[in-house]
Amino acid sequence: MAGLISTSAKTKAEGSIVEGRQAMLLFPAWAVIGVLLVVPVLIMLIYSFLTQDFRGGVIWEFTLEAYDQFFLDRGLFGDEAPSIEWTYILIFWRSFLQAFFAMIFCLLIGFPTAYFIATQSPRSRSMLLFLVTIPYWVNLLIRTVSMKFLIRDTGPINEWLIAFSVIDEPVRMINTAFAVQLGLFYSYLPFMVLPIYASIERYNFVLSEAAADLYTGRWTTMLKVVIPSVKPGIVAGCILVFIPSLGAFLAPDLLGGAKNFMIGSLVEEQFKGQAGDWPFGAAVSMVLLTIIMIILLIYARSQARDAEGAR
């Protein structure tokens, strides 16, 4: 932008007017980011260092209690020598695994779906995209509850399987990791399909012809040409599925039961009800935010290195 202004050979006064106008135009964006993102995160950050009030809420007194509780085990009465607290790390680990697999399954189903849609005639494309978004007309809670009805022991799936003598007694699906996985997959699949669709739609299919012309079969073309070309869409889809899955609490709560507790539920529990521990909930959120930032930074670095290597 600076280059643009200096090359346009304008006087300094005119330049600052242009800059002023640009600042004005950017104001709404900054306001939204500031009010809706920066301020809440700062509040959370501050809360995570405050003391818990027993009626919910915080007492304005600085302490590292929340982080201590997260990372260190000091025994039931808090008087033992500190060792590593595994409970929450385990919940994090489970959440990451669930989110990771949700991302993989969404990718495995979402990529072919997106590819299929993008290769249809323009008319069928918009129809199919419309169909992909239809589940979103219904609230996530209702969708998750209906999933619960589908897969419970006396739900239609089990009853049909028994009716057709495929199984003798109901298969346990509800309150398993599988149920959580199913819920996450169903909730976030369109977030995978749409960005991948967008990049495949922009993909130049002559490149696939060029690959075929250079002795490349279908699958190798997909692997060596199509996927690298639409990689930005795949990455966007993965991020859009992975991150909300990590913080999801409806699917694990309603479908997973107590054994499949995830980060989202842990945070939710701290803020809901009188017994909640706001500073601890804030601290859990901060730890999660930090980990996600680190992952994204590593990714951005590797992208930058790729781009650098191209030179």
Partner 1 sequence: MKKPAVDIVGITKIYPHRLHPVTALSNVSFDILDNEFFTLLGPSGCGKTTLLRIIAGFEDVTQGQVLLYGDDISPLAPHQRPVNTVFQQYALFPHLTVSENVAFGLKRLKQPGEQVSQRVKAMLELIRMSDFAERKPHELSGGQQQRVALARALAPAPKLLLLDEPLSALDLKLRQAMREELKAIQKQTGITFVFVTHDQEEAMAMSDRIAVMSNGAVQQIGTPQEVYTNPVNHFVANFIGEANIIEAEATPMRGTSAKLATQDWPPIRVDLGRKLAGPESLSIMVRPEQISLRPASARNKQGQASGQVLGLSYLGSDTQCHITLESGLSILARIQNVSEELGNLTVGQKVVVEFPESAVRVLAK
Interacting residues toward partner 1 by CB under 8 A: 204, 206-207, 209-217, 220, 225, 228-229, 231, 310-311
Ordered alpha helix ranges (H), 34-139:
39-47, 65-71, 86-118, 122-133
> What helix, strand, coil percent values describe the chain, rounded to 5?
75, 5, 25
- Residues contacting residue 201 through CB under 8 Å, at least 6 positions apart: 118, 125
Q: Which is nearer to partner 1, 180 or 211 (CB)?
A: 211
Q: Is the dihedral of CA 215, 229, 245, 193 positive or negative?
A: negative
**Nearest to residue 241, comparing CAs of 206, 190, 278, 308?**
190
Q: Which is nearer to partner 1, 63 or 216 (CB)?
A: 216
- What type of residue is 92? F
Burial class (CB in 10 A: 0-12, 13-18, 19+), 297: exposed
d(CA 211, CA 57): 61
Minimum distance of partner 1 from residue 296's CB (angstroms): 22
- What type of residue is 60? W
Q: Which is nearer to partner 1, 50 or 211 (CB)?
A: 211
Q: Which is nearer to partner 1, 95 or 221 (CB)?
A: 221
Minimum distance of partner 1 from residue 229's CB (angstroms): 6
Minimum distance of partner 1 from residue 244's CB (angstroms): 29
- Residues contacting residue 299 through CB under 8 Å, at least 6 positions apart: 235
Give the residue carrying structure tokens 């073309």.
221
Minimum distance of partner 1 from residue 311's CB (angstroms): 8
Q: Which is nearer to partner 1, 66 or 238 (CB)?
A: 238
Say if residues 142 and 222 touch (Cβ distance below 8 Å).
no
Give the residue carrying structure tokens 């199509």.
226
Q: Which is nearer to partner 1, 176 or 216 (CB)?
A: 216
Minimum distance of partner 1 from residue 203's CB (angstroms): 10
Q: Which is nearer to partner 1, 135 or 228 (CB)?
A: 228
Minimum distance of partner 1 from residue 205's CB (angstroms): 10
Minimum distance of partner 1 from residue 212's CB (angstroms): 4
Cα 218 to chain centroid distance, Å, stands at 32
